[in-house]
Structure 1
Amino acid sequence: MSEVLAVNAADLTKTYGTLTALNRISIKVAEGEVYGLLGPNGAGKTTFLRMLFGLIRPDSGTLEVFGRSWDKHGVAVLEGVAGFIESPKFYPGLSGRRNLQLLAGFDGGVAPDRIDEVLDIVDLTDRQRDKVGGYSFGMRQRLGVAASLVRDPRLLIFDEPANGLDPAGIRDMRALVKRLASSGLTVLLSSHDMGEVEQICDDVTIMRTGTVAYHGSIAALREQAPAQAHRITTTDDAATEKLVRARGLEVGHTGDGLAVHGSHGDIDALITDIVGAGIALRGLGLDKTPLESLFFMLTEPTPDAPTPEIDTPVTSGAHR
């Protein structure tokens, strides 16, 4: 593994008037890993990715890609880097293959078999002669991945690659990213979906309003997540809440009942208490996953529940 980081950002700050889009962000991505940049809309994810592509410059801080910086190396920073910000754009009246040929021409051209190879990787070989205007949104996203791969990059950067896709499209995109990562590519992707990042990424930075709420591995984050919550709806939620607290379990309110944190054994015993008290059980199901619960705790604190303190390794991403 190379000692040079794929991405090495330190204390990046970017402001737009009174708005601070990034506030001293530091992110380190090692070669060969799949790194997730996670946060709700407006957290600063796209601002950071735009800096990587040189579309905007930070007001302060340093940013290196494979040891190269925009100040010292200019556009050479993008050697070995490919991807897209938001959704990729193509000529709708041209075929998928023709779009790739035109984009490859901007880089000096590639061998025809490279176009064939990337179309096969993204499962678009059978539709390569069709006009892009007739592609589904998911197909255009996959064509964007193919366009990125034409450059034979070392680092792929994707901004919300599964955003707007239907369940089948999300499944296909996740599988594609996993295949790319298994080939040794470094992948940096942004998302607002904890479930997506959990299934794909090795390490993650969780952002909140331009700041870092967490750096570290998915495994370490999982260890700090709260117990699984169950949604419980009864004919008497107030009495049920008293039974929950009597068992020493954490409880919160949802729109139509209670969210109770506890093991399956705890919940089984609670249900026995509820039925024994003569309360009718109207609904029982799993609430957000533990990691999703922690994600919302980190990114959407309420006035009476400040952002929780969790362990944040300062060498995130650099240890691999």
Structure 2
Amino acid sequence: MSDALAVDAVGLTKTYGTLTAVDRLSLQVGQGEVYGVLGPNGAGKTTFLRMLFGLIRPDSGTLSILGRSWSRDGIRTLDGVAGFIESPKFYPGLTGRKNLQLLAGLDGGVSGSRIDEVLETVDLTARRYDKVGGYSFGMRQRLGVAAALLRDPRLLVLDEPANGLDPAGIRDMRALIKRLATSGLTVLLSSHDMAEVEDVCDDVTIMRTGSVVYHGSITALRERAPEQAHHLHTTDDDRTAQLATARGLEVNPADAGLAVRGPQAEIDALVAEVVGGGIALRALARRETPLEALFFMLTEPDTDQPAAELATTGARP
């Protein structure tokens, strides 16, 4: 294995008329990492992946993949790279195995045992002779991963792999990505779901309207996240708000109750004080996780706190 970065993007910019889809994006993905590119719809994630696959060219900036670049190496830039953008498509009237056989033929062909191997990797062995038209959306997503793995890639690129899946499908996709990561494969995935990225990624780039608002590790991001928020509703929310404020908790009105943010120990003590004081508790539930709250602060345009104050921007040194 070479020492080259799996992905080395510096100052990538892509515009469409007056729209800047990607604005001076720089990020570096080391080999063996699971790296997330996170942001809401329209943040520029898919545009970046299209540049990576050579489907579009940047207006400025440089991009190398496993030590190769489109300007110097042409189609060989994708040697060792596989994946999909948006949802993978298959022939619904053919079986999963036959679809993979046809796709492998476009790449020069592989052995039948290799096809069976990748189907086993994505837990589709039992359905390999079923027509894809009968597959669930999650199964088709996993078949897309199997198709990418046929190339035995060093870099696997997945665009919103859990998008549109039900909870069981999300669980299965996350488990699959974790298994692939243990093999030493580099995985670059885009997502708009902080929980997905937090669960599987080592490092993350967060984007908003084409620009980077955070580069760094998930661990460092957690250190910048606000305290956990809870939704709290009682028979006397005004008195509860007074008690919460006296404990130094952040309190804001919320639908049918209060949004209370602060250390978990203080939240627990507040609940005990409220109940002990004869106020009945009607509802208590966690709101978004601290990382989800930070994600919204970083990516929502009407946030009261500037992104620079919430997270450090900059490419890996």
Contact kept? 2:118, 2:150, Cα under 8 Å: yes
Q: Could you say if the C-alpha distance between residues 253 and 191 of structure 1 is closer, same or farther in structure 2, counting changes exceeding 3 Å?
A: farther
Unaligned runs of 5+ in 2: none
Contact kept? 1:297, 1:308, Cα under 8 Å: no
* Greater mean deviation of Cα atoms: 230-239 or 178-187: 230-239
**Per-residue displacement from partner, 1:234-274 (whole Å, max 9, x unpaired)?**
23434432332222212233333222112232113322443
Q: Which residue of 1 aligns with 2:208?
A: 208
Q: Which residue of 2 aligns with 1:282?
A: 282
Unaligned runs of 5+ in 1: none
AA aligned opposite 2:300: E
Check if 1:226 corresponds to 2:226: yes
Task: List aligned pairs for 1:29-44, cutoff 5 A.
Answer: 29-44=29-44
Q: 3-state SS of the aligned residue for 1:56?
A: coil
Q: Which residue of 1 aligns with 2:115?
A: 115
- Distance in 2 separating the partners of 1:236 and 1:16: 54
Task: Count matched residues.
Answer: 317
**Per-residue displacement from partner, 1:272-301 (whole Å, max 9, x unpaired)?**
443466543221121111111111111114
Q: Could you say if the C-alpha distance between residues 313 and 44 of structure 1 is closer, same or farther in structure 2, counting changes exceeding 3 Å?
A: closer
Q: Which residue of 1 aligns with 2:197?
A: 197
Q: 3-state SS of the aligned residue for 2:57?
A: coil
Q: 3-state SS of the aligned residue for 1:189?
A: strand
Q: 3-state SS of the aligned residue for 2:82?
A: strand
Contact kept? 2:298, 2:310, Cα under 8 Å: no
Q: Which residue of 2 aligns with 1:27?
A: 27
Q: Which residue of 1 aligns with 2:131?
A: 131
Task: List aligned pairs for 1:1-320, cutoff 5 A.
Answer: 2-275=2-275, 279-302=279-302, 304-307=304-307, 309-312=309-312, 314-316=314-316
- Distance in 1 separating the partners of 2:238 and 2:306: 26
**1:17 Cα deviation from its structure 2 partner:** 1.3
AA aligned opposite 1:266: E
Contact kept? 1:39, 1:208, Cα under 8 Å: yes
**1:122 Cα deviation from its structure 2 partner:** 0.8
Contact kept? 1:301, 1:307, Cα under 8 Å: no
* Greater mean deviation of Cα atoms: 233-242 or 98-107: 233-242
* Greater mean deviation of Cα atoms: 302-311 or 205-214: 302-311
**1:303 Cα deviation from its structure 2 partner:** 5.4
Q: Could you say if the C-alpha distance between residues 206 and 173 of structure 1 is closer, same or farther in structure 2, counting changes exceeding 3 Å?
A: same
**Per-residue displacement from partner, 1:170-214 (whole Å, max 9, x unpaired)?**
111111111111001000001111111111000001111111111
- Distance in 2 separating the partners of 1:162 and 1:256: 32
Q: 3-state SS of the aligned residue for 1:119?
A: helix
- Distance in 1 separating the partners of 2:188 and 2:72: 23
- Distance in 2 separating the partners of 1:234 and 1:301: 33
**1:134 Cα deviation from its structure 2 partner:** 0.9
Q: 3-state SS of the aligned residue for 2:114?
A: helix
**1:2 Cα deviation from its structure 2 partner:** 4.2
TM-score, length-scaled by structure 1: 0.94
- Distance in 1 separating the partners of 2:221 and 2:299: 14
Q: Could you say if the C-alpha distance between residues 303 and 84 of structure 1 is closer, same or farther in structure 2, counting changes exceeding 3 Å?
A: closer
- Distance in 2 separating the partners of 1:142 and 1:275: 48
Contact kept? 2:213, 2:313, Cα under 8 Å: no
Contact kept? 2:8, 2:29, Cα under 8 Å: yes
**1:219 Cα deviation from its structure 2 partner:** 0.8
Q: CA RMSD in A?
A: 1.7
Q: 3-state SS of the aligned residue for 1:309?
A: helix
Q: Could you say if the C-alpha distance between residues 275 and 308 of structure 1 is closer, same or farther in structure 2, counting changes exceeding 3 Å?
A: farther
Q: 3-state SS of the aligned residue for 1:293?
A: helix
